[in-house]
Amino acid sequence: MVEGPSRLSALAIAIVVAGIALVVSIAFIAGGDVATVLYVAPIVLLGTVVVSVALKTRGGAVRPAECWNCGGLVSPNAPSCKHCGASFG
């Protein structure tokens, strides 16, 4: 069973995929003109962003790093620790 952030990520992906499928099916039923495409495109783009953020969160790519010297949480891209000044380079 999936737990914690992974469970939330899986739920977000499922909701976005279901929403996109619903919007596309409604667009086809309505006739699918230019206005429909203008409404569907931003929804699909937003869904893509949500899914990519959920996948990054699942993979741990968004987590903070831990300083080797003091154990403080810092940005993974930081050149030094903001708590103790230890260099990461």
Residue 58: is its pLDDT beyond 70?
no
| Domains: count for the chain | 1
pTM: 0.41
Position 14 in a domain: yes
Q: What is the pLDDT of residues 5-52, one digit of tens each?
A: 567 677 777 887 787 788 777 777 877 777 776 777 787 788 778 777
Position 88 in a domain: no
Position 28 in a domain: yes
Residues in the chain: 89
Position 54 in a domain: yes
> Is 47:12 a contact under the CB 8 Å cutoff?
no
> Is 9:55 a contact under the CB 8 Å cutoff?
yes
Q: How confident is the model at residue 84 (pLDDT cuts 50, 70, 90)?
A: very high
Residue 1: is its pLDDT beyond 50?
no
Position 60 in a domain: yes
Note the pLDDT of residue 69.
92
Position 69 in a domain: no
For residue 20, give its domain range: 4-64
Position 48 in a domain: yes
Position 12 in a domain: yes
Residue 84 tokens read as: 């103790």
Give how far Cα 67 sits from Cα of 3, 56, 57, 77, Å. 27, 22, 21, 12
